[in-house]
């Protein structure tokens, strides 16, 4: 769908994109400032606020926790999500329709309610350790992404290839690993990366599931901002933006970024 | 029969995960609100009897509705431009919308602290322009929360609607044009009605997201602009009143599910392409 657009509309879109990009550019500028307070445009260029991130123990620790939780939660969600996505596509006729709704339920239930309920019933009620509860919360949080992305990959997979392998005598479980999985590899990679970034960025679930010595990076950022207003937060933000760019590059290579408009 | 069994077996772990760690805990939170002494709806009567708590609920609804309205309008026209841009520009514009979407909520809300603060960019520009009364205190107001949330949700709206607008068949537009419709007429009578179901889906995402938001109202609104999300956190983690926190959580779930169900039904009814 291409054609002439009125200059008013184009001007409007330019303003909207300036509005979208502006604040992020300001954060980058503020991170490079040589001052002890947050300011834009930066006064004097320096990278010292990037060094400062790693000097603050709480940032180092929460970064490690965030990476551990994001990696483990994504792996757990893939382990349960890949077979579920496979079943939803392969046995669509045999399975009830509500099953696919069940797997997107974590998107429908407000994240903050999930976080509070896990604290109430699982951490306090059932006595689960803080880290396990956090891991469970993030696994639920990213499960819908895993099921959805891999389902989309499987939708274009020709299941007759799998049947051909089975009829030639390949055991069913072996066929799954040697025929089905390699064919949806790009979907699995994209699901991994989208789930990972979702977990890294999460606030609302982790908000309730941190405990002594266990916290995630976004929660630490929130806590830091409430006490200090120095450029170190801007530097952490820039690090997270670099991560975002890396994620986008991977998604572009696997599914194509236009996948996100579908 | 065997097929059905293997289908169930493969989806069993994910089903168990959702049932045990989502449905049961959230169900328990909601069930607890009916177990409060003094009748089954006592917790809700109590909630609505307090002026402060009523204000928090109305304020949250107001912020969510305004955020949705602005995001839908801004997102629709922007998506229209993106969908009609040349392929090269279209991919650049899509990338430029995906980037903020994948950048975390905390980072993007924090950007507004720098932007709207007393020594922030907006105030510096206003002072420089010699505006009367500048610098203003813009942070910790409802307006600041709405602007920051619109900023948060416009990329989501744009990406949802670009997909919808691109799915409108060219034939339909060409048919309208060949029958003598002017571009504004095509926009109003063909493109817009066909985009309505997508607009509703996007609006639902924005409404539920802003109604249940925590990080943005916390950073940009603070204690002054208490909303359901920040109120829930305060009740649960600061005053440790878990009965009250459960009631807030239950209200959030009910409002969210009601809006999702009502609007998806409406989107299906209003779809002119449906047979």
Domain ranges of chain A: 56-261
Sign of the CA dihedral A13, B71, B272, A88?
Answer: positive
Do the chains contact at B106 and A201, CB–CB below 8 Å? Answer: yes
A residues 15-74 lying closer than 8 A (beta carbon) to B: 16-17, 19-24, 26-27, 30, 37-40
pLDDT score of A131 = 96
Interface check for A2 against chain B (CB to CB < 8 A): the answer is yes
Q: Which of B10, B96, B212 is nearest residue A84 as measured by Cβ atoms?
A: B10
Contacts of residue B188 in chain A, CB cutoff 8 Å?
Answer: none
Q: How far apart are CA A123 and CA A135, in angstroms?
A: 11
Which helix H or strand E contains A153, and what residues bound it? helix A130-155
Q: What is the CA radius of gyration of chain A?
A: 22
Question: What residues does A33 pair with on adjacent strands?
Answer: A45
CB A116 within 8 A of CB A123: no
Do the chains contact at A105 and B82, CB–CB below 8 Å? Answer: no
* Residue A37 in this model has a pLDDT that exceeds 80: no
CB A86 within 8 A of CB B9: no
Q: How far apart are CA B106 and CA B219, in angstroms?
A: 8
- Closest by CA position to A145, among listed A225, A259, A63: A259
- Can you give the length of chain B in residues? 275
Do the chains contact at B115 and A26, CB–CB below 8 Å? Answer: yes
User: Count of CB contacts below 8 A, A vs B?
Assistant: 268
Q: Which of B22, B215, B257 is nearest residue A140 as measured by Cβ atoms?
A: B22
Q: How far apart are CA B144 and CA B157, in angstroms?
A: 20
Q: Which CATH number fits domain A56-261: 1.10.3720.10, 3.40.190.170, 3.10.580.10, 2.40.30.110?
A: 1.10.3720.10
Contacts of residue A3 in chain B, CB cutoff 8 Å?
Answer: 84
Do the chains contact at A117 and B10, CB–CB below 8 Å? Answer: no
Among A110, A175, A195, A217, the residue to mutate for chain B (most B Cβ within 10 A): A110
Residues of chain B with pLDDT under 50: 275
Sign of the CA dihedral B131, B225, A236, B152?
Answer: negative
Q: Closest residue of A to B219, CA-based?
A: A222
Q: CA torsion angle for B74, B79, B80, B86 (degrees, to 10)? A: 140
Do the chains contact at B108 and A24, CB–CB below 8 Å? Answer: yes
Q: How far apart are CA A99 and CA A108, in angstroms?
A: 14
> Rounded to whole angstroms, what are the CA distances from B166 to A34, A81, B158?
46, 30, 12
pLDDT score of B275 = 47
Q: All domains of chain B, ordered by start, with CATH?
A: 75-269 (1.10.3720.10)
Contacts of residue B226 in chain A, CB cutoff 8 Å?
Answer: none
Rounded to 5 degrees, φ, ψ at B76 are -65, -50
pLDDT score of A129 = 95
Instruction: Look up the ipTM and state it.
Output: 0.93
DSSP 8-state assignment for residue B176: H
What digits encode the pLDDT tens for the residues A75-131?
999 999 999 999 999 888 888 888 988 998 999 999 999 999 999 999 999 999 999
pLDDT score of B116 = 86
């Amino acid at each position: 769908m291409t054609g002439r657009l009125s200059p008013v509309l184009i001007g409007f879109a330019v303003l909207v994109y300036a509005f979208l990009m502006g604040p992020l550019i300001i954060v980058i500028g503020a991170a490079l400032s040589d001052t002890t307070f947050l300011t834009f445009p930066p006064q004097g260029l320096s990278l010292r606020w990037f060094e400062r991130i790693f000097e603050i123990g709480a940032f180092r620790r929460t970064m490690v926790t965030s990476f551990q939780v994001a990696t483990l939660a994504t792996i757990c969600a893939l382990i349960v999500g890949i077979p579920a996505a496979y079943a939803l596509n392969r046995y669509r006729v045999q399975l009830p329709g509500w099953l696919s709704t069940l797997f997107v339920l974590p998107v429908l239930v407000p994240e903050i309610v999930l976080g509070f309920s896990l604290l109430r019933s699982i951490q306090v009620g059932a006595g689960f350790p803080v880290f396990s509860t956090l891991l469970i919360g993030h696994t639920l949080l990213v499960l819908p992404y895993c099921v959805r992305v891999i389902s989309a990959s499987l939708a274009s997979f020709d299941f007759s290839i799998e049947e051909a392998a089975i009829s030639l005598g390949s055991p069913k479980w072996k066929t799954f690993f040697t025929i089905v999985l390699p064919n949806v590899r790009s979907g699995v990679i994209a699901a991994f990366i989208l789930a990972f970034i979702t977990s890294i960025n999460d606030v609302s679930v982790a908000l309730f599931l941190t405990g002594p010595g266990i916290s995630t990076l976004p929660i630490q950022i929130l806590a830091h901002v409430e006490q200090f207003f120095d450029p170190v937060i801007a530097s952490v933000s820039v690090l997270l933006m670099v991560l975002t760019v890396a994620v986008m590059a991977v998604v572009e290579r696997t599914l194509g970024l236009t996948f996100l408009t579908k | 029969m065997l097929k059905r069994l293997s289908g169930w077996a493969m989806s069993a772990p994910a089903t168990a995960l959702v049932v045990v760690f989502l449905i049961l805990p959230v169900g328990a939170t909601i069930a607890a609100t009916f177990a409060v002494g003094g009748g089954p709806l006592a917790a809700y009567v109590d909630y609505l009897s307090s002026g402060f708590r009523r204000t928090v609920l109305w304020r949250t609804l107001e912020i969510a509705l305004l955020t949705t309205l602005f995001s839908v309008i801004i997102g629709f026209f922007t998506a229209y431009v993106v969908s009609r841009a040349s392929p090269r520009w279209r991919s650049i514009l899509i990338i430029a919308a995906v980037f903020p979407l994948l950048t975390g909520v905390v980072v993007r809300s924090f950007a507004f602290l720098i932007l709207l603060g007393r020594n922030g960019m907006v105030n510096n520009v206003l002072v420089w322009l010699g505006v009367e009364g500048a610098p203003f205190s813009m942070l910790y107001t409802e307006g600041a929360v709405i602007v920051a949330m619109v900023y948060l949700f416009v990329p989501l709206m744009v990406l949802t609607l670009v997909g919808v607008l691109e799915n409108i068949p060219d034939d339909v537009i060409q048919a309208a044009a060949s029958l003598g419709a002017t571009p504004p007429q095509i926009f109003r009578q063909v493109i817009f009605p066909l985009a309505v179901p997508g607009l509703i889906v996007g609006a639902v995402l924005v409404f539920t997201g802003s109604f249940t938001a925590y990080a943005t109202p916390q950073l940009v609104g603070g204690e002054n602009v208490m909303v359901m999300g920040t109120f829930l956190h305060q009740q649960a983690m600061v005053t440790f009143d878990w009965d009250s926190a459960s009631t807030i959580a239950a209200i959030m779930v009910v409002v969210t599910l009601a809006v999702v169900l009502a609007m998806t039904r409406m989107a299906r009814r209003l779809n002119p392409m449906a047979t």
